[in-house]
Chain A
Amino acid sequence: MFYRESGDFKTSYIQDQQIFPILQDRVFVTVIIAFAFLVVPFLINDYWEKSVLLPVLIWSLAAIGLNILTGYCGQVSLGTGGFMAVGAYASYKFTTAFPELNLFIVVLLSGGVTAMVGILFGLPSLRIKGFYLAVATLASQFFLVWLFNKVPWFYNYSASGQINAPERLIAGIAVTGPNAPPWATYLFCLVFVVVFALVAKNLTRGRFGRSWMAIRDMDIAAEIIGVAPLKAKLSAFSISSFYIGIAGALFFLVYLGAVEPTEAFGIDKSFLVLFMIIIGGLGSILGSFIGAAFMFLMPVLIKNILVNGLGWSPDIVAHLILMIVGGLIMFFLIVEPHGLAQLWRVTKEKLRLWPFPH
């Protein structure tokens, strides 16, 4: 696909402010979304649902959430796993307390609860920055997981200490529980991801996004143009947590179905999402998708090739994957903080001018 800007002149600021200013991009994205909604549901099976599509969709949402906070507003957080747990437990409490409540509303409310918890744990960011803030959010990670393990009210006093997603229907079709068909769980997640990716794009290209980036790039200059650090940071924390809470709720309700907090929402999840946005691209919604897909699928792919294909020992492959991820993280942090999304942009830039680079 060649990118051509010629013949695609922008005649108004509205056109210049589009999410995808280049025609080919617009067509491409429209086709992908149409394909995702109209074709994939007919092709999907259990394997694709559980091993590829649901996790990539849900992690993308979590990555967008963390990217809003870290990539756009510059506040490093290691609490993602804990905030996902808040979303999961909130959805569990809502749907068990009000079984008739529509599942869309349950998930949105869970996001809302997580947003409020996010504000609370975001308060230290008004005093501390960078490494120290990361440590503070790490504390919230451990505190939240501990809380959901320790207080029986959160898991409705179940003997196992686990939470289980009860079957819930939307328009007569099961979306949670063992009887939910793959296309239903997939579409349920897809709606959230598409709608909230668009919302994130809108927020980040407007006044809110600019106030976050201003705080990220130069907080004293942000203040002198009238950005209140309190408002900017806490709005980033709450909106970011809203996304992560929704991701946590979906992760529990439609993907895992049963959850034990230490295992499902441990510190490894916080790092996973952080790696996703570093590799995908800090401060990029597209990068959140690329990073989530890459971080989730790359290990699967390598494992398939090396263990199943070439018969390597799984242990060695697991270590190899860790080394690859570590190497990539260092590469992107040092060489290209804007991640794979930026590499894609640069390639496009080159294609656009091709074959006359000057």
Chain B
Amino acid sequence: MQDTVKEDDILLEVRNISLSFGGVRALENISFDIRKGEVRAIIGPNGAGKSSMLNVINGFYHPQEGEIWFDGKRRHHMKPHQVAKLGIARTFQNIALFKGMSTLDNLMTGRYIKMRANLFSQMVWVGPAQREEVEHRQRVEEIIDFLKIQSIRKTPVGKLPYGMQKRVELGRALAAESKLLLLDEPMAGMNLEEKEDMCRFVLDVNEQFGTTIALIEHDMGVVMDISNRVVVLDYGKKLADGSPDEVRNNEKVIDAYLGVSHD
């Protein structure tokens, strides 16, 4: 399967990643790739190492072994803010919004790497800084319209209900207009309606903006519906990798994920 894919179709590839914390082996020799334009799901039981994998990809954790290739180049030791500049954005499993700010400001802050005005023009404001602010405000308003959050534009995010906060966090990640979007359980804790909305947004982002997406999700129904390929982790090891159908019918996955013994 790998062989049929052209090199430049792959956006991100992790090779033989091993990560441990003291005695805990969070990831053991994990390899997989993410193709340009696809929705890639990462699934596995609690503690499988899914979030750790995202933390490796965006530079929070530094694996003891393995390589990360992004956009055809080997990526060396990088800090998260450097990874952001490469074009990787993400959301967190536990909401990590800037709760002292409004929805609008959270999204504007999401465009930090896109903004250039230097200290002096910021101090003067009138001129380049203001022009830049207006220009980016327009892009942010497009995202606000896209996510249908116009009515909470000026609301401090701390006051929003949980589902809305998740949506704003997606908005903040979108604001960076990155190549790769990492979503850590974007639908966790949501009711059915909110989940459906979120699925729609994820698919629309993928289709309309062409953004490559890697997401972690526990809801198998959702995973089967929206992802092109699925990688399954269990206790830090890779169990399976393939299309949703292949993965669903994989016996190892059924055993591990559903916790039922197979006989």
Contacts and interface: CB of A to CB of B under 8 A. Distances in A.
B129 A226 contact: no
A13 B80 CA distance: 31
B113 A221 contact: no
A205 B105 CA distance: 9
A217 interface: yes
Interface stretch (B36-44, B82-90, B144-152): B82-90
B110 interface: yes
Contact of B97 (A211, A218, A224, A235): A218
A224 B115 contact: no
Contacts of B110: 225
Interface stretch (B3-11, B118-126, B223-231, B245-253): B118-126
A218 B98 CA distance: 6
B84 A226 contact: yes
A224 B90 contact: yes
A226 B112 contact: yes
B122 A13 contact: no
B192 to A, nearest CB: 28
Contacts of B115: 207
Interface residues of B, number: 40
Contacts of A211: 109, 112
Contacts of A224: 58, 80-81, 83-84, 89-90
Contacts of A229: 81
Where chain B touches its partner, the secondary structure class is: helix
B72 interface: no
Interface residues of A, number: 31
Contact of B125 (A13, A202, A218, A283): A202
A218 B92 CA distance: 12
Given A17-B130, A217-B98, A228-B79, A210 B105 contact: yes
Interface in B158-181: 172, 176
A202 B137 CA distance: 16
A44 interface: no
A93 interface: no
Interface string A258-282: 0000000000000000000000000
B133 interface: yes
A199 B124 CA distance: 7
A218 B99 contact: yes
A216 interface: yes
Contacts of A216: 100
B256 interface: no
A41 B12 CA distance: 66
Contact of A206 (B81, B122, B172): B122
B154 to A, nearest CB: 9
Contacts, number: 105
B96 interface: yes
B11 to A, nearest CB: 18
Nearest to A283: B100
Instruction: From A221, A223, A283, name the one whose CB has the most chain B CB atoms within 10 angstroms.
Output: A221
Contacts of B132: 207
Contact of B133 (A17, A221, A225, A235): A17
B125 A206 contact: yes
B105 A13 contact: no
Nearest to A228: B81
B26 interface: no
Contacts of A223: 60, 79-81, 84
Interface in A271-308: 283
Interface string A173-212: 0000000000000000000000000010011011110110
A145 interface: no
A5 to B, nearest CB: 12
Given A14-B130, A206-B117, A218-B98, A225 B109 contact: yes
Interface string A12-24: 1110110000000
B138 interface: yes
A162 B137 CA distance: 53
A283 B58 CA distance: 30
Contacts of A256: none
A84 interface: no
A217 B109 CA distance: 12
A221 B90 CA distance: 9
Given A203-B123, A210-B112, A225 B130 contact: no
Given A203-B123, A223-B84, A224-B84, A217 B100 contact: yes
A-B pairs, top 3 by smallest CB distance, nearest first, are A226-B84, A226-B113, A217-B98
8 contacts: A205-B125, A211-B109, A214-B109, A218-B98, A220-B80, A221-B172, A223-B79, A223-B80
Interface of A: 12-14, 16-17, 199, 202-203, 205-208, 210-211, 213-214, 216-218, 220-229, 235, 283
